[in-house]
Amino acid sequence: MDRKILKGGEYLITEVPCQDVFTPEDFTDEQRQIGETTEAFVKNEILPHVEEIENQNFVRVVEGLKKCGELGLLMIDTPEEYGGLELDKATSMLVAEKIAASGSFSVAFSAHSGIGTLPLIYYGTEAQKAQYLEKIITGEWAAAYCLTEPGSGSDALGARATAILSADGSHYLLNGTKQFITNGGFAELFTVFAKVDKEHFTAFLVEKSFEGLQVGAEEKKLGIKGSSTTQIILDNCKVPVENVLGEIGKGHKIAFNVLNIGRFKLGAGVTGAAKMALVEGVKYANERKQFNAQISSFGAIQEKIADLTAGIFASESLVYRLAGLLDTKLSTLDKSVGNYYEEYLKAIEEYAPECAISKVYCSEVLADVVDEVLQIHGGYGYVSEYPAERFYRDERINRIFEGTNEVNRLLIPGMILRKAMKGELPLQREAMKAFEQLMTPSFEAIDQSQPFAREKSLIGNLKTVFLILSGAAIQKYMDKLEKEQEILMAAADLAIQIFALESAVLRCEKVHAKASARKKELLEAVARVCAFDASEKFATAARKGAFYVEEGDTLTMILSGIRRFTKFEATGLLQAKRTLAAAAIEDEKYIF
């Protein structure tokens, strides 16, 4: 099937046919099998040792990584020519989703197989790959990534660590402190960023055994306690010149490209964590009795279960739609060309806005899920005997690392705006068309006989509002808009809600025709719940944005447009929620 290859951010200005989106229902048998292998690994090899891992028995973590190596789970993204499996991004995301059920171990796994391994794959020389890659993808060595410093987190390029070439030109001497390094306590290979001559931001491959590298004490953390987080102290650390990774002064490319990948995988991971937490909540609701009834029989609890199910559905739909976008684009590349990896990373960078959306939206869905799952547990959610307490603590980090959610929110409209400025997205032309729609008195009637007609009409209208507001903001602030953070945050929320809702609804539409009667009912219910929720959140962010940008008659006109375009006729909403809740409570699982 030929899919139109959508550009990054283009979903905001075009109507996307449902056949063009990849959904979890499209997984091949091979992909499912790898998902099942991962699930079985977590169940048999990690969950029996969760207590030990939580108490920082890192021997268990290292053993787990080795076992992952044996199963091939550390080489999903590694090219075949270097002994890897070179599977698609959908499989990579499925593994990230399934491994999330392992709690803290999943953080070690993600840091190792993501930020720890990918810089070497994409930027390493043949000699560097020959020296290190096999050790890493088999789990013989654990890997870590050292970007953050005490004085530079979000502002990663503000790093102070230095690298000075020795007089004989054989090695660099690295000095500085790296902060919050995942796997720091047991990693054997570190990708370290430092400035050559205090100026040229550069990456280095640093072995633990290199003279001058010290591992700091374990941080005492709120959650993910079974992961190792330490400082890495470089005190005249001697690194051979052969271990410069990529080019001198081009470290920022490595840092940013690897972050894009980390963000979409984080979206998949937190979706897996959310599913696991939801199941615990539903099981508990079925067990717990108050007022002589299971608490799952109460509407207040059912509404939570329905809302969480819908949130996870949107999160999952978004993640795999993004996987499909990436895989479609990557499949067009010619592997035989010399600059294949450059093109590969450029292809991923194309979807940098969607990668940031995945990180923000899915981590915030998980935040809602763990909060409400704890609430469903009442007082028992607050004590460590039940896993709800750990889920709640473990969740928090996802809104901080891989770029905080604020930084990611700022990036979303910033990147879209830059694409528009470069002429890659006709944002201003579409904004003018959208503005004209403010003057049209009414909408075309919706053909209610088509499934999801109301939801799809809403999505089209939300895009119109996004365009009206971005057009207004660009006109008012021009190139100064990048400094107006409150407006950018509101714009990000609009772009995020549209992508998430559209992903959910297009998936419903695609799957609906061939679905059983029960599945059809569930799909219609989840689309309604997602659309209502998105329309409300969108309207709030849009109104805020309008007040930030406009005043006087134009403001009045835009506010009335927002009212009109975000209106969602959610008849049957209560029944839809009850349908979702009843299915989840009966099956005691995530129902899609």
Ligand X SMILES: Cc1cc2nc3c(=O)[nH]c(=O)nc-3n(C[C@H](O)[C@H](O)[C@H](O)COP(=O)(O)OP(=O)(O)OC[C@H]3O[C@@H](n4cnc5c(N)ncnc54)[C@H](O)[C@@H]3O)c2cc1C
Torsional sign, CA 492, 396, 402, 112: negative
For 16-62, the three-class secondary structure string (H helix, E strand, C coil) is CCHHHCCCHHHCCHHHHHHHHHHHHHHHHHHHHHHHHHHCCCHHHHH
For residue 542, what are its two tokens?
């849009």
83 counts as binding ligand X under rule CB under 6 A: no
CA-based radius of gyration for the chain: 24
Among 147, 259, 318, 504, binds ligand X (CB under 6 A): 147
Residue of 37, 131, 294, 404 interacting with ligand X (CB under 6 A): 404
> How many residues sit close enough to ligand X to count as binding (CB under 6 A)?
20
Work out whether 166 is an interface residue with ligand X (CB under 6 A): no
Tell me: does residue 216 bind ligand X (CB under 6 A). no
Q: Does 397 bind ligand X (CB under 6 A)?
A: yes
Query: Least distance in Å: CB of 168 to ligand X?
Result: 31
Strand partners, 239: 172
Give least dist CB 389 to ligand X, A.
18
Closest contact distance (angstroms) between CB of 434 and ligand X is 28
Nearer to ligand X, 17 or 151 (CB): 151
Is 592 near ligand X (CB under 6 A)?
no
Q: What torsion do the CA atoms of 328, 329, 331, 332 make, to the nearest 10 degrees?
A: 130
Q: Is 489 in the site for ligand X (CB under 6 A)?
A: no
Nearer to ligand X, 245 or 465 (CB): 245
Closest Cα to residue 456, out of 21, 8, 6, 3?
Answer: 21
Tokens encoding 523: 């799909």
Taking CB under 6 A as the criterion, the residue among 368, 406, 424, 569 binding ligand X is 406
Instruction: Supply the residues annotated as catalytic.
Output: 402
Nearer to ligand X, 145 or 351 (CB): 145
Q: Can you tell me which residue has the tokens 């059912």?
A: 302
Q: Does 532 interact with ligand X (rule: CB under 6 A)?
A: no
User: Is the Cβ of residue 181 or residue 277 nearer to ligand X in the bound state?
Assistant: 181
SS3 359: helix
DSSP output for 538-566: HHHHHHHHHHHH--HHHHHHHHHHHHHHT
Q: Please report how close the Cβ of residue 406 comes to ligand X at its closest, in angstroms.
A: 3
Residue number with the smallest Cβ distance to ligand X: 153
> Is 153 one of the binding residues for ligand X (CB under 6 A)?
yes
Give strand pairing partners of 176. Answer: 234
Among 401, 452, 565, 568, binds ligand X (CB under 6 A): 401
Tell me: does residue 192 bind ligand X (CB under 6 A). no
Nearest distance in Å: CB 480, ligand X: 16
Letter string b/e over residues 419-444, b meaning 16 or more CB atoms within 10 A of that residue's CB: bbeeeebebeebbeebbebbeeeeee
- Is residue 483 classed exposed, middle or buried when 0-12, 13-18 and 19+ CB atoms within 10 A define those classes? exposed
Closer CB to ligand X, 23 or 183, in the complex: 183
- Quote the least distance from Cβ 179 to ligand X, whole Å: 7
Q: Please tell me the distance from the alpha carbon of residue 13 to that of residue 17, in angstroms, as a whole number.
A: 13
Q: Does the protein bind ligand X through residue 148 (CB under 6 A)?
A: yes
328-337 long-range contacts, CB within 8 A, separation 24+? 328/3, 328/5, 328/22, 329/5, 330/88, 330/89, 332/5
579/592 Cα distance (integer angstroms): 13
Instruction: Record the tokens describing residue 263, joined without a space.
Output: 């963000």
233 binds ligand X (CB under 6 A): no
Residue 56 in contact with ligand X, rule: CB under 6 A: no
Q: Which stretch binds ligand X (CB under 6 A): 67-75, 235-243, 405-413, 527-535?
A: 405-413
Please report how close the Cβ of residue 133 comes to ligand X at its closest, in angstroms.
19
Q: How many residues does the chain have?
A: 592
229 binds ligand X (CB under 6 A): yes
Nearest to 280 by CA among 201, 359, 388: 388
Among the listed ranges 134-142, 144-152, 366-374, 552-560, the one in contact with ligand X (CB under 6 A) is: 144-152
**Window contacting ligand X (CB under 6 A); options: 91-99, 399-407, 437-445, 508-516:** 399-407
- Minimum CB distance to ligand X, residue 117 (Å): 13
Beta carbon of residue 102, minimum distance to ligand X (angstroms, whole number) = 16
C-alpha distances in angstroms, 267 versus 43, 227, 261, 262, 447? Answer: 22, 19, 10, 9, 34
Q: Of 64-72, 235-243, 395-403, 461-469, which part binds ligand X (CB under 6 A)?
A: 395-403
| Residue 461 lies near ligand X (rule: CB under 6 A) | no
**Binding residue for ligand X, selected from 165, 333, 400, 432, defined by CB under 6 A:** 400
145 binds ligand X (CB under 6 A): yes
| One of 234, 407, 462, 549 touching ligand X (CB under 6 A) | 407
The residue range among 132-140, 147-155, 323-331, 420-428 that interacts with ligand X, by the rule CB under 6 A, is 147-155
What is the contact mask toward ligand X in residues 4 to 33, using x (rule: CB under 6 A)?
A: ------------------------------
Fill in the per-residue mask, 167 to 186: x = in contact with ligand X (CB under 6 A), - = not in contact.
-------------xxx----
Residue 124's Cα: distance from chain center in Å? Answer: 25
Stretch that binds ligand X, among 148-156, 233-241, 382-390, 560-568 (CB under 6 A): 148-156
Q: Which residues are 207's β-sheet partners?
A: 189
Q: Is 411 in the site for ligand X (CB under 6 A)?
A: no
* Nearest to ligand X of 87, 541 (CB atom): 541
CB of 186 to ligand X, least distance (A): 13
**Which among 442, 454, 453, 431 is positioned nearest to 549, based on CA atoms?**
431
The b-or-e profile of 493-530 (16+ CB within 10 A means b, else e) is bbbbbbbbbbbbbbbbbbbbeebeeebbbbbbbbbbbb
DSSP letter, residue 216: E
State the residues that interact with ligand X by CB under 6 A. Answer: 111, 145-148, 153-154, 180-182, 221, 229, 397, 400-401, 404, 406-407, 410, 485
